[in-house]
């Protein structure tokens, strides 16, 4: 897998409802092909249909948007208050951020304020508690008028963090949820554009938006009526000191793909589990903590088989999400085998062996024909033997001549 694609995805900000730039990048890496058609190209979705001329159709979905916030208000002294989607507020104090200015049509750097450590004791004495539920954004301006010339209420905000590698395969960054899923889906699409003849299904590769706000929709695909929906996403790992895996399940980064098992994942769980065993793909199984998986918003729109497949993350929904790229490869490989025709079965191998045994007598018969040729040569050799016999006759003549000479000598002596 081309990690340069992943790095570009991470560097491309994609707050909920502002997925335009990442959508443009995805379109730039997907080549045109006669079997591939663009189903949807809207601000919150991008969908490609690969027609393999099969009876069944599978939808593969990965959401493009990442955890983000919005400007709620602008104070008189030029600061902004913002909210954040997901349980991210406690991780955002003191973080650098980017504001998507709809006025300037560009991003503005800023930083989230923190409570000053030097006044901690004074706050306790004066019972002046700092409100950790509110995030104050500082963009370096002095008053409300200046800030309003650059920022509007509702402008999006994301953490200004890029990627770094902690180890060879261990990457940390903001937005791995769900840039990793998008990365996998891009590579599946690129693979099957080249190898569409290997597909066992028609596939729809759907890059969705607004997932983090809970507004994801597949309404633009209703005319397709898929037989199954596979959601490619991320999920939290429990391989950290402060989480009890007995309570939350044992999920580690570096130990393979995650598949959920719940009442929503009907019919496909066993299929993926068997494929992982057959192809020796590392796999981890989890049960959603709330009793249902993250497929709820899809189930409301379709009555069909579904499966949630994920890459495990440490620090999920934070600016420092951490993943093992070997898990990314495991998810990609598992899905590739699921979508590919399963032709190499034991029965086929047995048939091939039997058919090869049937050919052997034919080869032997060819050998017999050659032996007939050799037999003919031997018969020629037997003719040589005849010549030798003629030679032996010549020998007898010589002897008879010698005998006559001796007899004549004897007569002359007499």
Alpha-carbon span 48 to 41, nearest angstrom = 9
- 205 HSE (CA, 13 A, CB side): 27
The pLDDT score that the predictor gives to residue 127 is 80
pLDDT tens sequence across 222-238: 788 888 899 999 999 99
Alpha-carbon span 293 to 260, nearest angstrom = 7
**Which pLDDT band, with edges at 50, 70 and 90, does 264 fall under?**
low
Global pTM value: 0.79
Strand order in the sheet with 170-173: 164-165, 170-173, 321-324
The pLDDT score that the predictor gives to residue 35 is 87
**Count of H-run helices and E-run strands, the chain:** 10, 17
pLDDT tens sequence across 5-14: 999 999 999 9
Residue 112 contacts by C-beta under 8 Å, 6 or more apart in sequence? 82, 92, 93, 94, 95, 97, 135, 136, 137, 138
Helix (H) or strand (E) holding 11: helix 3-11
Nearest to 73 by CA among 146, 155, 140, 3: 155
pLDDT tens sequence across 334-366: 999 999 987 644 444 444 444 444 455 555 445
Tokens of 248: 């939350």
Residue 394 has pLDDT above 70, yes or no: no
**Which pLDDT band, with edges at 50, 70 and 90, does 276 fall under?**
very high
Q: For the chain, how big is the Rg over CA atoms in Å?
A: 39
Neighbours of 244 (CB within 10 A): 8
Give 383 or 34, the one with higher predicted confidence: 34
Tell me if the bond preceding 293 is cis, omega within 30° of 0: no
Residue 372 has pLDDT above 60, yes or no: no
Residue 294 has pLDDT above 70, yes or no: no
pLDDT tens sequence across 89-111: 888 888 999 999 999 999 999 99
Residue 265 contacts by C-beta under 8 Å, 6 or more apart in sequence? 259, 293, 295, 306, 307, 308
The pLDDT score that the predictor gives to residue 152 is 96
Alpha-carbon span 392 to 379, nearest angstrom = 19
Residue 157 has pLDDT above 50, yes or no: yes
DSSP track, 303-342? -SEEEEEEEEEBSTTSTTEEEEHHHHHHHHHHHHHHHB--
Neighbours of 156 (CB within 10 A): 23
Contact at 8 Å (CB) between 77 and 142? yes
- Rounded to 5 degrees, φ, ψ at 222 are -65, -25
The pLDDT score that the predictor gives to residue 353 is 46
- Rounded to 5 degrees, φ, ψ at 99 are -105, 130
The pLDDT score that the predictor gives to residue 226 is 87
DSSP track, 343-408? ---HHHHHHHHHHHHHHHHHHHHHHHHHHHHHHHHHHHHHHHHHHHHHHHHHHHHHHHHHHHHHHH
Tokens of 106: 């560009």
Bridge partner residues of 84 (DSSP): 69
Nearest to 293 by CA among 261, 328, 250, 252: 261
Lowest mean pLDDT among 78-82, 187-191, 273-277, 394-398: 394-398
Contact at 8 Å (CB) between 141 and 134? no
Mean confidence (pLDDT) of the chain: 82
Distance spanning both ends of the chain, measured CA to CA: 116
The pLDDT score that the predictor gives to residue 302 is 67
Residue 200 has pLDDT above 70, yes or no: yes
pLDDT tens sequence across 110-121: 999 998 888 888
């Amino acid at each position: 897998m081309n990690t340069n694609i992943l790095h570009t995805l991470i560097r491309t900000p994609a707050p909920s409802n502002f997925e335009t730039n990442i959508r443009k990048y995805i379109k730039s890496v997907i080549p045109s092909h006669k079997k591939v058609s663009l189903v949807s190209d809207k601000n919150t979705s991008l969908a490609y249909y690969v027609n393999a001329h099969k009876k069944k159709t599978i939808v593969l979905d990965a959401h493009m948007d990442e955890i983000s916030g919005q400007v709620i208000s602008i104070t008189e002294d030029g600061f902004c208050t913002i909210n954040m989607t997901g349980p991210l507020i406690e991780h955002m104090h003191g973080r650098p951020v980017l504001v998507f200015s709809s006025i300037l049509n560009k991003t503005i750097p800023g930083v989230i304020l923190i409570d000053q450590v030097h006044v901690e004791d004074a706050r306790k004495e004066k019972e002046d508690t700092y409100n950790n539920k509110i995030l104050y954004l500082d963009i370096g301006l002095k008053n409300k008028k200046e800030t309003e010339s650059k920022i509007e209420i509702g402008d999006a905000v994301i953490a200004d963090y890029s990627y770094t590698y902690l180890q060879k395969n261990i990457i940390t960054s903001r937005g791995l949820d769900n840039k990793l899923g998008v990365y996998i889906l891009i590579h599946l699409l690129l693979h099957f554009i080249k190898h569409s003849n290997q597909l066992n299904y028609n596939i729809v590769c759907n890059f969705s938006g607004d997932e983090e706000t809970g507004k994801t929709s597949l309404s633009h695909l209703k005319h397709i009526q898929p037989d199954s929906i596979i959601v490619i996403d991320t999920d939290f790992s429990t391989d950290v000191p402060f989480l009890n895996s007995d309570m939350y399940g044992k999920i580690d980064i570096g130990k393979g793909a995650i598949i959920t098992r719940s009442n929503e994942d009907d019919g496909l769980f066993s299929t993926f589990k068997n494929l992982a065993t057959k192809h020796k793909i590392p796999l981890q199984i989890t049960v959603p903590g709330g009793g249902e998986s993250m497929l709820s918003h899809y189930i409301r729109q379709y009555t069909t088989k579904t499966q949630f497949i994920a890459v495990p993350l440490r620090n999920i929904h934070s600016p420092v999400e951490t993943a093992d790229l070997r898990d990314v490869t495991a998810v990609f490989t598992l899905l590739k085998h699921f979508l590919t025709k399963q032709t190499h079965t034991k029965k086929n191998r047995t048939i091939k062996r039997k058919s090869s045994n049937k050919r052997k007598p034919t080869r032997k018969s060819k050998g017999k024909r050659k032996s007939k040729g050799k037999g003919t040569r031997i018969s020629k050799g037997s003719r040589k033997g005849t010549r030798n016999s003629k030679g032996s006759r010549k020998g007898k003549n010589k002897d008879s001549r010698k005998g006559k000479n001796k007899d004549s000598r004897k007569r002359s002596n007499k």
